[in-house]
A and B are shown apart, each in its own frame.
With several copies, the nearest count.
Chain A
Amino acid sequence: MSDAAPDPDQRPGTPEPPAEGETLAPLSTDAELQGALEALLLVVDSPVGEDVLASALDQPMERVLETLQRLRADYTDEGRGMDLRRVGEGWRFYTRDVYAPFVERLLLDGQRAKLTRAALETLAVVAYRQPVTRSRVAAVRGVNVDGVMRTLLARGLVEEAGIDAETQGVLYRTTELFLERLGLSSLDDLPPIAPLLPDIDSIDDVPL
């Protein structure tokens, strides 16, 4: 039975059959799929993609995605303590922000450090112009960014992305961790910067 429903979303190669003797719940109802997803999300400690979840559940990715989205909406509507978010490469449970004061009271260390303005501005330039060299970022900010860039690199918020053919400078781009840090699921979530920029032909030769 079970494998009767062919699924266009599934990656090539048939999913493995359940392990010997293992009894998998059929997940035919939405409530079951929902429960199974909750169980998976409870054990992951980094964002996990809907493709990985779909493969673990042996379900079409589309159905999994729909269920995740419905689950997220339900949690929000009901003011649940868990906030299901798509961040970086995938889905993860977070505590809902309104309950942050209670979480901070319970946890050992509460508040976490925020990024400085220099770090945020440098990240802003890298995010919109990646891959980009350090000297290009310095030119936009009007200050040297060597120290900040080194720290962002060490913190895993930016990473190297090859060498600029023209200037031989190292190119940088933002990382998954950067997206997670800002709670974004992809760079596409960033607002377009064009409306903010001057309508002058080209300030320099790098397209935005």
Chain B
Amino acid sequence: MTVVQDPVAPDGVAGSGRFTVRLDNFEGPFDLLLQLISQHQMDVTDVALHRVTDEFITHLRLLGDSFDLDETTEFLVVAATLLDLKAARLLPSAEVENEEDLALLEARDLLFARLLQYRAYKQVAALFAELEAGALRRYPRSVAVEDRFADLLPEVMLGVDAARFAEIAAAVFRPKPPPSISLEHLHSSRVSVHEHAALLRAWLARQGEASFRVLVADCAHTGEIVARFLALLDLYREGVVLFDQTDPLGELFVRWTGGAGSGHPAPGDPSADEDYG
């Protein structure tokens, strides 16, 4: 796979179709996906999704320990869908064989739809930026009325109460930092994906199957939930767990396929459809 080693490497395409990705700041999973797809100079198609799945996961993992974890839930939903699609080999061309495939196709369509929707608003935002830039070059006439008319002005109203006035003041005084992705207001404590993986490995090997909801029931904060999800992705990559999600965005079930004596990852076929109970 065309794994990205360094997401901010200075050069663009490096030999033999292997991409080194250079990304602007991105906000949210759709933004990241669109940027990855455009890096490959592709349209938004399932082929494109296929090509960028690994890069997406890589970015997610790179961000995993330092990201604003409050905002990663959406990343995880998208990551899960991408991985499901890739694992089920519905990409790039889909042969619908059973209900599971159908559900995946729906999930894919939904992902496409949300991606295209986001892209539409992003294009509008670019238009807004242009309009604003134009408007900022036109200075409005805003001049006090001539002295001879000053007495004619009607009684002035502020149009706001004291509380609202204070809000306006706060908005004006608020420090204006240089533009950057909002990494600075990190407040979640660091969590170790590795530790959570070990925890899940032991637990799942014993229990066999559990819903994601159950697996994160004891998490104290969002960061731990994210860490646990990333850990699951690791386990998935190892081929020791399978995901099962009947409805898009519905309950996610995790099944252990790694055998009893964990610790030694069994490199199994991720799409194998074994039955564990």
Contact = CB atoms under 8 A, between A and B. Distances in A.
Contacts of A193: 120-121, 124, 166, 169-170, 173
Given A45-B142, A116-B179, A154-B170, 18 more contacts: A42-B143, A43-B142, A93-B141, A95-B138, A103-B149, A107-B152, A118-B182, A120-B160, A121-B172, A142-B29, A154-B174, A155-B171, A183-B138, A184-B131, A191-B124, A191-B162, A191-B166, A208-B176
Nearest to A205: B179
15 contacts: A43-B149, A44-B143, A45-B141, A112-B153, A114-B157, A115-B128, A118-B182, A142-B114, A147-B144, A154-B150, A155-B156, A184-B131, A193-B120, A198-B113, A206-B179
A124 B165 contact: yes
Interface of A: 39, 41-45, 82-83, 85, 92-97, 100, 103-104, 107-118, 120-121, 123-125, 127-128, 140-144, 147-148, 150-151, 153-157, 177, 180-184, 189-193, 196-198, 200-208
B123 interface: yes
A142 B118 contact: yes
- The 4 tightest CB contacts between A and B, nearest first, are A150-B144, A142-B28, A183-B135, A154-B171
Contacts, number: 279
Nearest to B128: A120
Nearest to B145: A43
Contact of B144 (A104, A121, A153, A181): A153
Nearest to B158: A181
B203 to A, nearest CB: 30
B172 A141 contact: yes
A125 B170 CA distance: 9
B149 A200 contact: no
B162 A182 contact: yes
A200 B123 CA distance: 18
A140 B173 contact: yes
A114 B163 contact: no
B52 to A, nearest CB: 15
B168 to A, nearest CB: 5
Interface string B114-128: 101111111111111
